Amino acid sequence: MNLHHDILEAAYPGQSHRFFLPIRIGGTPALADEGAGLILSGIKTATSSAFWDYPDGRIPFAGALSVLLDGRDQPVAIIETTGVMPVRYCDVTEPMALAYGEGERTLASWHHHTGGWFRAKAAREGQAFSDETLILWETLAVVRRLPSSATDDPALNHTLQQHS
């Protein structure tokens, strides 16, 4: 059994063509909790990733549904990808940085913090990274919160209890 698939199937039966990989924002449990909180609050409505994160070529797509995980890898929400576009790192704009929702929410802050993260990730993974590198820009919306205990949706509650 796959908890993430089961959660999506319980919420969106018969729509498995829309199901995508779970999303965990941040490289540490604390950052993942922060990222999940920003998404749940509506402050963070965009994220980015490197194309090398998808070696099989299967990238997120508009309409994709994913389970959002917290720092303990617990499901906290179902999110929908509302848009996907390749963009050069250097072409990220001020409104995009604001939608990214992290730090000071400015372009300068985004370039400093996220650029540092991309450069470190590239070095660890033997990838090249420059201002010209294409990244995948993804916009997101929370479509369902998943409470940690009881839920109003009996099918989701049953699925979560089965995997506890």
Under a CB-based contact definition with an 8 Å cutoff, are residues 78 and 144 in contact? yes
Under a CB-based contact definition with an 8 Å cutoff, are residues 39 and 78 in contact? no
Predicted TM-score (pTM) of this structure: 0.86
What's the burial of 136, exposed, middle or buried (CB within 10 Å: 0-12/13-18/19+)? middle
Place of tokens 């604001």: 98
pLDDT over 70, % of the chain: 89
Place of tokens 């199937």: 9
pLDDT tens, per residue, the chain with 164 residues: 589 999 999 999 999 999 999 999 988 999 999 999 999 999 999 999 999 999 898 999 999 999 999 999 999 999 999 999 999 999 999 999 999 999 999 999 999 999 999 999 999 999 999 999 999 999 999 999 997 643 445 555 554 555 44
